[in-house]
Amino acid sequence: MPKATFYTHVAQPAIFICRLAARAIRDDGRVLVWSDSADTIARLDRDLWQQDAESFIAHEIWQTGEIMPSETPVLLASGNTLPALPADITVLNLSPDFWWDAAHPPERVLEIVGNSLEDLAEARERFRAYRQSGFDIEHHKMEGKA
């Protein structure tokens, strides 16, 4: 059964994204960080390059019209159309896209939700959509955590 994990009340999303991507590659293997904004992906690329040398995460920006790199643990991509993905990749979703609706939904989706009422309302919609589509749902409230 596919699984969607929500991390809500994240105070510093940029820092949390880097930490979660590192943990996801340790636990799950490969990760696609998906956004609907190329600017968000460029900013995340810069953030990942600014990590301490011992915390560096190998990554690259993937243009979804190109062949997906198979050796890079973290791929960063954006667009308006959800790409078909191999079964072994975890999606860290930074967009309002509903991955349950993808041509081939991933087995694991990670959703990061900030503190704003708008972020929380959008997350509730995605939560319901994933549940109705048969995803197993997991939730971690990150309020007060680093």
Give per-residue burial for 127-139: e unless 16+ CB within 10 Å, then b: beebeeeebeeee
CB atoms under 10 Å from CB of 106, counted, come to 24
The pLDDT profile of the chain, 146 residues, written as one tens digit per residue, is 899 999 999 988 888 888 888 888 888 789 999 998 999 999 988 888 876 666 678 889 999 888 888 888 999 999 888 788 888 889 999 988 777 777 778 889 999 999 899 989 999 999 999 999 899 999 999 987 75
Three-point CA angle 88, 68, 129, nearest 5°: 55
pTM of the predicted structure, to 2 decimals: 0.89
- Rg (C-alpha) for the chain, rounded Å, is 14
